[in-house]
Structure 1
Amino acid sequence: MTVPELARTLGVRDSVLIGLGSMIGAGIFATLAPAAQAAGTALPLALAVAGVVAYCNATSSARLAARYPSSGGTYVYGRERLGEFWGYLAGWGFVIGKTASCAAIALTVGAYAWPEHAHAVAVASVLALTAVNYVGVQKSALLTRALVAVVLTVLAVVVVVGLGSAEPSRWADGGAGGALGVLQAAGLLFFAFAGYARIATLGEEVRDPRRTIGLAIPVALGITLVVYTLVAAAALKTLGPHGLATAADPLAQVVRAAGAPELEPLVRVGAVLAALGSLLALILGVSRTTLAMARDGHLPRGLAAVHPRFGVPHRAELLVGAVVAVLAAVADLRHAIGFSSFAVLAYYLIANCAALTLTREEGRAWPGIPILGALGCVTLGFALPVASVLGGLAVLGAGALVYVARRRGTAS
């Protein structure tokens, strides 16, 4: 039986924009405040740590994605390089963790757009973007291009106003969070950097995968790191670590504290668009991993169906959209971020281990990169809040039990 394939419609530009759409927004509008609470004045150091780990993970993912340009990301890499169980565990962690991410970003939309009805707005956003994804990834890429352009413009305004303010700097208002605080903040910030995985999980939908993926991942990550650093500097200068940590809408507070309150509505619109761009790309990535796992029988095979007209995994997208909508109706934003970060760091731990098995002929990077990436994932994961660690371990353990039960059922 021939397995239907997805249409290859994405080039480098659209792939970069999908990565930017998933990273920029989540980091600035959802994780900057809790990261500042953990790291204090050392927030820039936490950004650097998260960036280094993300770079190692991106390099490992890019080499593996070029070798295996099909939907599924580390689910595919782990299965092919380490064995079926590790691929399954990576896919399980990705789907569960990123489903929580989708809920967190949807709640960010609600918090900035209509705080009094944040959950209702979050659910509506999920349903609307699920409909956009349903009619084809190329239309999603076109929408992402517009969203990223607007968001980058708004963030540029925040940086210029914040750093150019004549108000006294409040950067030193508060102490550093210590080594554990820096690592915890880096783990939370990793939630934002992980967006480059959307490019790898779209491997079956890009043209010339080796070239496209190899260029798109580092370019998207580099742009995002520069943007995060500038925005964090502006926020620390105007609000200080304590003010940033306690602000529900930190970037709106930045322009207000810098003496430009008339720009607050613009920032709120930018926050909503940034979160919508992230949510759009996140739903894409989760549905593609669901597709790959369904093809292999780890999820119901009916989810592997590809729409004959739109060329998308429509059943997987509808299921993911429904689950995220339910979570968005009941979830807590900061708890969802910590839980998602732990699950996704576990996912990249498997990616780095898989990259270590590549030979030079298969495009292996310098071995120190996946080793550093793996160690970074473990360190940042266990530095997260205890509730996030315990919740993540419980979910991964439940996934392992499901795998064992399914194997025994097949054997009998």
Structure 2
Amino acid sequence: MTTPGAATPLARRLATRDAVVIGVGSMVGAGLFTAFAPAAAAAGRLLVPALAVAALIAFCNATSSAQLAAQYPTSGGTYVYGRERLGEWWGFVAGWGFVIGKTASCAAMALAFAAYVAPPGWQRPLAVAAVVALAAVNYRGITRTARLTRGIVTGVLAALVVVLVAVALAPAAARPGSADAAGSGVGGVLQGAAILFFAFAGYARIATLGEEVVDPSRTIPRAVLGAFTVVVPLYAVTALVLLRSLGVPGLAASAAPLRAAAAATPWSAWLTPLVGLAAAAATLGALLALIAGVGRTTLAMAREGDLPRRFAAVHERYAVPHVAEVGVAAVVCVLVLLTDLRGVIGFSSFGVLTYYAVANAAALTQDAGHRRYPRVLAVIGLVGCVALVFAVPSGSLVAGVVVLAGGLGGRLVVTRRRVGPGSDGGGDTRGVLPMDGGSTAT
């Protein structure tokens, strides 16, 4: 094993197809089985416009992320881009936002998996077991992560096609002609979009794995946009099918809307179990990729001293940030035991929207030689992220601000200690990350 804090590079093993699969696997589990119900409760009959707003902002974020990842093909994603383009503090804001947001997402995925396959009373223990098992898979190497994710995504997409076609062909159930869910004005649309943004954030996993992608300047942009174009039509069809089958009140009230829609069809005897299997596989696939992505950002932050340097260790045999991944898994297990599914979605959106706001700001500073997309996309992405941050549910907003401020305060204390008496003021510069697409410095 490597010496803690040494900037040992990760191995480049992921081709474009593997990177696309990891992105799709991250998004499918996050959105289809967890986000539509609370989004419908917020947006009401304007759920589809809320989805369109979330998709537009996510697309702008995707172009900024792809453009930056091509210039800085290393682990860490926007944590690296923020440091290089805007300064160390902005990089820390992005990295900390990603770590707290996506750690919450890991807990959400584990809880969603257990909700579909375990009886009450056994759900939290099974969720913890799932986290431990998938962390063990990631520990053995990124190619194993990609291989398992590919199998999960293939099965889930096939099952979803069957489910959506069957629900769409079934007669629409009679529903009370009652009102739409509350909050269907502009504020409701923005809050619904903020919740649904949780479902789109999986493509960030590709950028955070940038140090393990073959030919990153070509592969990362193609993989980010490729994953995005697969998932957006799938979300749109799912939203329309669920609205037709359940109506706004039924969708907003359902803990498992796809399962409820399947149960309302004439083929519920076999369709409902199929939904359960697809949901379990999708959430496991998302959790697998999420643990890998958070581990890589933790690695990058540890290399720069923004997290304990022990997390920068890279396993000699498996070429993964094994200490970081074990640490992430431990925190996720604690969250699984203390939180609930809906409670962490808004908190996750707050952290990830903060992360992408920094990404768009960083993309605006790139010169013409590294710009692949119009600047207006980064502007729309930045403004949209800021607007959606303040639209998340109030409890999530308060919790997010407190945790983000706590991280900033902790970094301020550590920074002042480093430049105190007896310090040379320079800090530890090991692990300086590459400029303009170079390889990671050792």
TM-score range, shorter chain: over 0.9
State the alpha-carbon separation in 2 of the partners of residues 5 and 58 from structure 1.
25
2:43 maps to which residue? 39
Q: Tell me which of 128, 132, 153 is aligned to 2:133.
A: 128
Alignment partner, residue 97 of structure 1 = 101
Equivalent residue, structure 1, for 2:305: 297
Match status 1:220 vs 2:220: no
Distance across 1 between alignment mates of 2:376 and 2:125: 46
* Cα deviation digits, residues 139-186 of structure 1 (max 9, x gap): 110000010011111211221012111235759754261111111011
> What CA distance in whole angstroms lies between the structure 2 residues aligned with 1:172 and 1:56?
37
Which residue does 1:111 correspond to in 2? 115
SS in 1 for 2:390: helix
* Cα distance in structure 1, aligned partners of 2:150 and 2:176: 34
Q: Which residue does the alignment assign to 2:197?
A: 190
Q: Which amino acid counterpart does residue 396 of structure 2 have in structure 1?
A: S
**SS of aligned partner of 2:32:** helix
- What is the correspondence of 1:132-211 to structure 2 with a 5 Å cutoff? 132-167=137-172, 174-175=179-180, 177-211=184-218
In 2, the alpha carbon distance for the partners of 1:215 and 1:169 equals 44
Residue 328 in 1 paired to residue 336 in 2? yes
Q: Distance in 2 between matches of 1:214 and 1:387?
A: 35
SS of the aligned residue for 1:24 comes to: helix
Please tell me whether residue 396 in structure 1 is matched to residue 400 in structure 2.
no
Q: What residue is the counterpart of 1:22 in the other structure?
A: 26
Separation in 2 of the partners of 1:205 and 1:369? Answer: 27
- Residues 228-284 of structure 1: CA distance to partner in whole angstroms, max 9, x if unpaired? 111111111111111111111211111111222121111101000000010001001
Match of residue 57, structure 1, among 51, 54, 61: 61
User: Which among 346, 366, 381 is matched to residue 358 of structure 1?
Assistant: 366
Secondary structure in 1 matching 2:329 = helix
Question: How does the TM-score come out when normalised to structure 1?
Answer: 0.98
Secondary structure in structure 2 of the residue aligned to 1:299:
coil
Whole-Å Cα distance in 1 between the matches of residues 177 and 262 of structure 2?
19
Distance 1:221 1:109 in 2: 23
Question: Does the CA-based 8 Å contact 1:9-1:138 persist in structure 2?
Answer: yes
Match of 2:314 in 1: 306
The answer (yes or no) to whether the contact 1:171–1:236 under 8 Å persists in 2 is no
Q: Are the equivalent residues in 1 in contact too, given 2:6–2:303 (CA < 8 A)?
A: no
Structure 1: how far apart are the matches of 2:148 and 2:177?
40
What's the offset of the Cα at 1:89?
Answer: 1.3
Q: TM-score, normalised by structure 2?
A: 0.91
Q: Matched residues in 2 for 1:243 and 1:252: separation?
A: 12
For residue 136 of structure 1, what is the amino acid of its counterpart? G
Q: 2: CA distance between counterparts of 1:388 and 1:2?
A: 36
Q: What amino acid is aligned across from residue 252 of structure 1 in structure 2?
A: R
Say if 2:4 is the partner of 1:7.
no
Partner SS state of residue 310, structure 1? coil
Supply the distance in 2 between the matched residues of 1:292 and 1:216 (Cα, whole angstroms). Answer: 21
Q: 2:248 aligns with which of 237, 241, 244?
A: 241
Calculate the aligned-residue CA RMSD, in Å.
Answer: 1.4
Q: Contact 1:40/1:241 (CA < 8 Å) preserved in 2? A: yes
For 2:52, give the aligned amino acid: A
User: What residue in structure 2 maps to residue 385 of structure 1?
Assistant: 393
For 2:374, give the aligned amino acid. Answer: W
**Deviations along 1:119-147, whole A, 9 cap, x unmatched?**
11110110000000000010110000010
Q: What's 2:75 paired with?
A: 71
Quick check: 1:169–1:238 contact (8 Å CA) kept in 2?
no
Structure 1: give runs of 5+ residues left out of the alignment: none
Query: 2:173, 2:246 within 8 Å by CA — same for their partners in 1?
Result: no
Name the counterpart of 1:48. Answer: 52
Per-residue deviation, 1:115: 3.7
What SS does the corresponding residue of 1:40 show, helix, strand or coil? Answer: helix
Q: Which has the larger radius of gyration?
A: 2
Counterpart of 2:354 in structure 1 is: 346
Contact 2:172 2:244 in 1 (8 A): no
Contact 2:173 2:264 in 1 (8 A): no
Cα gap change, 1:376 to 1:27, in 2 (>3 Å)? same
Decide which moves more: 92-101 or 114-123: 114-123
How far does the alpha carbon of each residue in 1:284-307 deviate from its partner, in whole angstroms, 9 at most, with x for none? Answer: 110000000111111111111111
For residues 325 and 177 of structure 2, what CA distance do their matches in structure 1 show? 46
**SS in structure 1 at match of 2:323:** helix
